[in-house]
Structure 1
Amino acid sequence: MQRFTRVLQAGLLAAATFGMGLLPAAHAADKPTIKIGYVQSWPSSDITTHLAGAVIKQRLGNPVNLVASSAGPMWEAVASDHSDAMLTAWLPSTHKTYYEKLWQKVVIMGPNVTGTRLGIAVPKYVPVNTIEQLKQHAGKFQNRIVGVGAGAGININTEKAIKAYGLDGFSLQSSSTAAMTAQLQRAIKNKQWIAVTAWTPMWMWAKFDIKFLKDPKHIYGKGGYIGTVVNPALAQKSPAVYSFFNRFAIPRAQLSAMMLEVKNGKSVEQVVNDWIKAHPKMVDSWVS
């Protein structure tokens, strides 16, 4: 079914692109608004979405509307025609639940960032190396693992990890990325024990001396990628934007560097525009 959907979309893309060439210039200039869903509190989502939106506006000429939400509604919006695309699908493990529910209603474009990893992290001075060892020191960790926003895939996996590794005394504390990293920073400053949900790419690996706990049961998967997902109707709505999303990808190291710039005080818009100016060949490869 998924292969059929991709073939169908390719046919629509070719047909729509051919048709665009026959339209008068006035109609070609009347371009539709592209709605892109993202999770604003996730730095990687915030930056890649603003980057894609800026290129679509500057190079393809389409108005862009960025729609912030949590992970579940972001997937649902693309599947139900409320959004055209998103660039924040953590696959194959983290967003497995959303994928299995909605894959027949969307088009999976593939990776835009590769080499991702998720799990539980602790400061390196904490003498714990596996998730299972957490239960031996529940009190020192205040019987909690500090997570991010409710509904995030990594939170869902952490709830599974608590059960799978028998961490009966632990609970998951939902917060936000900013609140989680603030608690991590305070704990490290005071040499306290803390366990947090963690992932790469993320700026905190450059700032804090932390480590992933080993996950031999692979509750968080074995690594993966961040993928682009679009609504099937986008192929006909805007063939050029559809093609752009199929090509859009950024090296993980460059994304991490951009995330650190934002953390250090630059606005997302400034960081994105500076990156576009510094990488014209890569941008050309997305839109040519």
Structure 2
Amino acid sequence: MKLSSTSLRSFVAVVAAIGLLGTGLAGCGGGGDSQDVSREMNMVTVNWIEGMAFTYVQEQILENQYDMEVDVREVGGGGIAFSSVADGDRDYFNEAWLPTTHQDPWSKAQENADKLGYTYKGTSVGLTVPAYMDVTSASELENYRDELNGEINGIESGAAVNDQTRQILENNGLDDEFSVVASSGPATWQALENAINNEQPIVVTGWYPHWKWGAFDLKYLEGAQTGQSPVFGDPEDVFKIVDNEFTEEFPKEVVCFLKVSEVSDEQIESLMGDFRDRGDMSKREAANQWIENHPEDVNAWTDQAEECAASDGAVETLPDDATFSRDQST
């Protein structure tokens, strides 16, 4: 069939319109052409139950509600988690304690990483003992040296809280009397439980949020906790750390969900409890059980994500020096 010049111009116009429509639709992704938006995400977590449990909850929501394929890698320390995001090996880490605890790994990573949003606001860190111990401050630990075998129970080697504990000991003239024993988190909490069951003295590196505060009657030592020592600084927040291209690389609704999903005390405590008591269930099964038992919490996150995704422009990350709790304390 032979087209007239008028028909040909109309045909070209229709084709051009379709092309423009396709381009517009393509822009509905995280920040560019839909062909460039990835639905495969690599997360990293550490065996700190609060962040690890929430990571698996986020993974399951992304896979089941946002059509994502997510790979979670568990690593042996925060420094590895930070560097894996900065190096581009992993896309997302949800447990960066800033601005004090993870200051060192963050300073090394922040040129190639961003703060996407908050995971939890208002943390605390410090030397922790059972409430039955007749000691109130770090300076009194000298009286317990023999009973404690000159040991403070830390977590994995290289952890910032271990170095902070060594600094507290030095500041109190106890660095020749005590050493910080590095161990895995689970091993340290088992040692804590064993000591409490036998009402023996023990000192551990502690922080909140963490399940031990709900399981045992504990206390921080005065002068060796957040807000009372420059070593531990003022109250911190837990941030989500992503690589520099994150907000452009993934669908906007996915970026929005991860940005807005923030946990309260009640949520994180129930989540840690479910993971500790999961028995033979896998971590993913425990995450799905928590999701099923907390539909209102999940719906609140996804509703916020939907509102965020409907807004104009790309999702903005937080400033490098963003802090909520420290601003509230000034």
Band the TM-score falls in, shorter-chain normalisation: 0.7 to 0.9
Structure 1 counterpart of 2:241, from 194, 216, 229: 229
Gaps of 5+ in 2: 1-22, 307-330
1:152, 1:52 → 2: CA distance? 25
Q: Within 2, Cα distance between the matches of 1:37 and 1:131?
A: 34
Partner of 1:260: 273
Aligned residue for 1:87, secondary structure, equals strand
1:171 aligns with 2:179: yes
Q: What's the counterpart of residue 134 of structure 1?
A: 141
Of 112, 116, 121, 2:119 maps to: 112
Pick one of 279, 284, 299 that aligns with 1:269: 284
Partner of 2:65: 59
Structure with larger Rg: 2
Partner of 1:206: 214
CA shift, 1:30, in A, is 8.0
User: Is 2:59 the partner of 1:47?
Assistant: no
The answer on whether the counterparts of 2:37 and 2:249 sit within 8 Å (CA) in structure 1 is no
2:152–2:181 contact (8 Å) kept in structure 1: yes
Q: What percentage of residue pairs aligned between the two structures are identical?
A: 24
Give the TM-score normalised by the residue count of structure 1.
Answer: 0.86
Aligned partners of 2:36 and 2:249 also within 8 Å: no
Q: CA deviation at 1:208?
A: 1.0
Note if contact 1:59-1:287 (Cα within 8 Å) is conserved in structure 2: no
Instruction: Note the 1:1-288 alignment, pairs <5 A.
Output: 19-21=26-28, 31-39=38-46, 41-69=47-75, 70-167=77-174, 168-215=176-223, 216-240=228-252, 241-266=254-279, 267=281, 268-277=283-292, 278-279=294-295, 280-288=298-306
1-structure distance, mates of 2:24, 2:258: 15
Displacement of 1:231 in angstroms is 0.4
Unaligned residue ranges in structure 1 (runs of 5+) = 1-15
Q: Which moved more, 1:221-230 or 1:269-278?
A: 269-278
Query: Are the counterparts in 1 of residues 115 and 239 from structure 2 also a CA contact under 8 Å?
Result: yes
| Residues matched between the structures, number | 268
State the Cα RMSD in Å. Answer: 2.2
What is the CA–CA distance in structure 2 between the aligned matches of 1:145 and 1:162, rounded to whole Å? 10
Residues 136 and 57 of structure 1: CA distance in aligned 2, closer, same or farther (over 3 Å): same
Give TM-score scaled by structure 2 length.
0.75
CA contact (8 A) 2:62 2:70 kept: yes
SS at match of 1:150: coil
Q: Deviations over 1:53-87 (max 9, x none)?
A: 11111121110011111211110011111111100
Alpha-carbon shift at residue 17 of structure 1 (Å): 9.3
Matched position secondary structure for 2:222: coil
Deviation at 1:258, TM superposition (A): 1.5
CA distance in 2, matches of 1:226, 1:18: 35
Structure 1 window deviating more from structure 2 (236-245 vs 175-184): it is 236-245
SS at match of 1:21: coil
What is the one-letter code of the residue matched to 1:182?
Q
Whole-angstrom CA distance in 2 between matches of 1:18 and 1:173? 57
1:70-117 per-position Cα deviation (integer Å, ceiling 9, x unaligned): 211110011111111100101121101112222222111232111211
Q: Distance in 1 between matches of 2:299 and 2:206?
A: 32
Judge conservation of contact 2:54–2:271 (CA < 8 Å) in 1.
Answer: no
Amino acid at match of 1:260: G
When residues 232 and 54 of structure 1 are mapped into structure 2, their CA distance, relative to the original with a 3 A threshold, is same
